């Protein structure tokens, strides 16, 4: 992924893209919002996996709020359970291409 300029960082304060990989539970909701607010502008969110995209198969559980887009805005979706590494890279590269055309 580094050949595309994608580096993993340990702090949201140094990140441009937030990759969310699971469903949003009632416990995680406030923490996800706090991390999202810590990412500097411009910030982008990628929902990785079926759980992050829609909350399924946990969608009807009592403690699951739903997919990531019910809490924060999502810029790219990578479906799959689990998604292949190539699909994750492809989703992030498409997001980068979309940003390049926007500027």
In whole numbers, what is the pLDDT of the chain averaged over residues?
Answer: 86
Domain residue spans in the chain? 2-96
Q: Over 90: is that where the pLDDT of 74 sits?
A: yes
Tokens of 53: 């995209």
User: In this predicted model, what pLDDT tens digit does every residue of 37-59 receive, in sequence order?
Assistant: 999 988 899 999 988 888 888 87
CATH of 2-96 given 3.40.50.880, 3.60.110.10, 3.40.50.12280, 2.30.30.30: 3.40.50.12280
Indicate the pTM of the whole model: 0.84
Specify whether the CB–CB gap between 22 and 51 falls below 8 A.
yes
Specify whether the CB–CB gap between 48 and 19 falls below 8 A.
yes
Rounded distance between C-alpha atoms, residue 78 and residue 17, angstroms? 14
């Amino acid at each position: 992924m580094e050949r595309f300029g994608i580096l993993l960082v340990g702090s949201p304060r140094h990140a441009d893209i937030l990759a969310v990989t699971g469903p949003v539970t009632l416990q995680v909701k406030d923490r996800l919002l706090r991390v999202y607010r810590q990412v500097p502008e411009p910030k982008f969110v990628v929902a990785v996996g079926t759980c992050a995209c829609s909350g399924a198969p946990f969608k009807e559980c009592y403690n699951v709020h739903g997919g990531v887009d019910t809490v924060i805005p999502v810029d790219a979706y990578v479906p799959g359970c689990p998604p292949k590494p190539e699909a994750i890279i492809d989703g992030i590269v498409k997001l980068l291409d979309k940003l390049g055309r926007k500027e």
